[in-house]
């Protein structure tokens, strides 16, 4: 009886799940070739996928949830998906080069999504890009609301100016990453002090930084560097994004499940340096921690002991390892200063030797991972080709040996068949014919021969 109830409950849950999935799919439109002409009057969030792509299949339930959520909140953004293999010409026009590719299409503009593939992050991207490029902040209340909602945002303060034109250009390029606002000087909080107007500010980490054209260079590059919080929980995707900033990344590599003093101490030291030495290092350094050393070991092609601190230069794949024991924030600051003045040797890089090392390392890692995950599959993938090659080599070797033997036999038989003829000829020359005299013939005189003729 109990087994029947459990079975009925499982069937009910499965039915509810399938109905829920079908309900969510109803808010995601399957797009075809007509989409190219019909899309221009709307804003579209589109997933370009391939039916055989594993990542695309993993994204599908999340994408259905995105469609349902956007419909529930009354968003003007329509959600769709397109099989890029069936409509390859349309996909190529939108610059689709891999699967899945998420794009927000707004008029003649197409914005790529490069963030984590989670429902909340995708919806946040859609809200940010589908709205105004630069959003006005008309009051202090609105400013405070934005400050509570967003961890990082940029504000232009002032009237029309060449700086505002640069700000608009930068926003059109980087709106996929962060928010851009404009405000008057009266709206800005009282703790903000400005030496000159107009100005561009970034608000993050419960403080703000002012753009300085002479120290910070190009405005777009400065915004790209400052769009991250000063301290972050690192992963592979975030490190890839930080590669565009040109900053060095100081990471405490720890085991978050390990609550020992050494693990928590290194993390606290990095957090303290990021907080207390922000003005000194924020232009050149990004700080954070990473749980586990698997990704770092792959990146460095080395085995790092946990816990430790590593400083990465993600733009050229160089890295710096500790040359001292870090006991406090002052030791870490000294280590960072030594990196900046060049007294700490950099390892790694993108030289030809390092690239060859990377190829060998990646091949080795792939083989090991295959054998660890599925030994039988590994034996099949690598054992079968090796067996075929071995058989081919054996066949070639034996073919050469038999060929040499046959050739030798042919030469011997040929010599046997050809050699009697000259021997017989020589014998004929040497031995007299039957009836011939053994005494050599004596030539008769010419006059005697003439008489015999007569």
Which one from 13, 24, 53, 393 is the annotated catalytic residue?
A: 53
Closest among 278, 186, 277 to 229, alpha carbons compared: 278
- As given in the structure block, the two tokens for residue 218 are 């190009």
232, β-bridge pairs: 288
- As given in the structure block, the two tokens for residue 105 are 């299409």
Residue holding tokens 């592979």? 236
Question: Cis peptide leading into 100, omega within 30 of 0?
Answer: yes
Backbone dihedral angles phi then psi of residue 220, each to the nearest 5 degrees: -60, -40
Task: List strands edge to edge, sheet with 153-157.
Answer: 135-136, 179-183, 153-157, 199-204, 207-210
* E strand or H helix that includes residue 55: helix 54-72
24 tagged catalytic = no
Closest among 414, 353, 114 to 238, alpha carbons compared: 114
CA distance 282 to 275: 10
Closest among 199, 188, 135, 193 to 161, alpha carbons compared: 199
53 tagged catalytic = yes
Backbone dihedral angles phi then psi of residue 4, each to the nearest 5 degrees: -65, -40
Cβ-Cβ contacts under 8 Å for 361 (sequence gap 6 or more): 301
208, β-bridge pairs: 203
Which one from 13, 24, 56, 393 is the annotated catalytic residue?
A: 56
* Distance (Å) of CA 432 to CA 148, 424, 427, 439, 444: 129, 13, 9, 10, 21
Catalytic residue set: 53, 56
């Amino acid at each position: 009886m109990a087994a029947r109830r459990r079975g009925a409950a499982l069937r009910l849950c499965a039915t509810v799940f399938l109905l829920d999935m079908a309900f969510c799919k109803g808010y995601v439109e399957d797009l075809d070739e007509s989409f190219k002409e019909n899309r221009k009057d709307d804003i579209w969030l589109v997933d370009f996928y391939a039916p055989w792509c594993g990542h695309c299949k993993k994204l599908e339930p999340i994408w259905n949830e995105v469609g349902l959520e956007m419909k529930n909140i009354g968003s003007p953004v329509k959600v769709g998906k397109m099989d890029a293999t069936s409509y390859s010409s349309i996909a190529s026009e939108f610059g689709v080069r891999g699967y899945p590719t998420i794009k927000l299409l707004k008029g003649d503009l197409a914005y790529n999504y490069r963030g984590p593939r989670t429902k909340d992050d995708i919806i946040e991207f859609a809200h940010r890009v589908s709205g105004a490029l630069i959003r006005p902040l008309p009051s202090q209340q609105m400013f405070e609301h934005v400050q509570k909602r967003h961890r990082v945002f940029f504000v232009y303060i002032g009237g029309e100016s060449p700086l505002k034109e640069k700000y608009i250009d930068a926003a059109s390029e980087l709106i996929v990453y962060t928010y851009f606002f404009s405000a008057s000087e009266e709206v800005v909080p009282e703790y903000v002090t400005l030496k000159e107007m107009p100005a561009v500010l970034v608000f993050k980490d419960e403080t703000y930084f002012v753009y300085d054209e002479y120290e910070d260079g190009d405005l777009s590059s400065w915004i790209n560097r400052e769009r991250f919080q000063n301290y972050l929980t690192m992963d592979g995707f975030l490190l890839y994004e930080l590669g565009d900033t040109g900053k060095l990344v100081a990471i405490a590599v720890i085991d978050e499940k390990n609550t020992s003093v050494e693990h928590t101490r290194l993390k606290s030291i990095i957090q303290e340096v990021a907080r207390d030495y922000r003005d000194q290092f924020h232009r050149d350094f990004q700080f954070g921690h990473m749980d586990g050393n698997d990704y770092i070991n792959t990146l460095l092609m080395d085995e790092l002991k946990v816990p430790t601190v590593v400083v990465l230069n993600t733009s050229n794949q160089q890295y710096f390892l500790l040359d001292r024991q870090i006991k406090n924030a002052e030791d870490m600051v000294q280590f960072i200063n030594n990196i900046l003045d060049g007294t700490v040797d950099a390892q790694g890089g993108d030289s030809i030797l390092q690239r060859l090392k990377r190829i060998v390392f990646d091949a080795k890692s792939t083989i090991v991972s295959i054998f660890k995950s599925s030994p039988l599959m590994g034996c099949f993938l690598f054992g079968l080709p090796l067996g075929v090659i071995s058989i081919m080599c054996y066949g070639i070797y034996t073919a050469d040996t038999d060929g040499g033997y046959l050739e030798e036999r042919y030469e011997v038989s040929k010599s046997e068949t050809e050699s009697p003829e000259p021997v017989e000829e020589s014998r004929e020359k040497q031995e007299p014919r039957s009836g011939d005299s053994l005494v050599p013939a004596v030539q008769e005189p010419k006059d005697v021969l003439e008489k015999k003729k007569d």
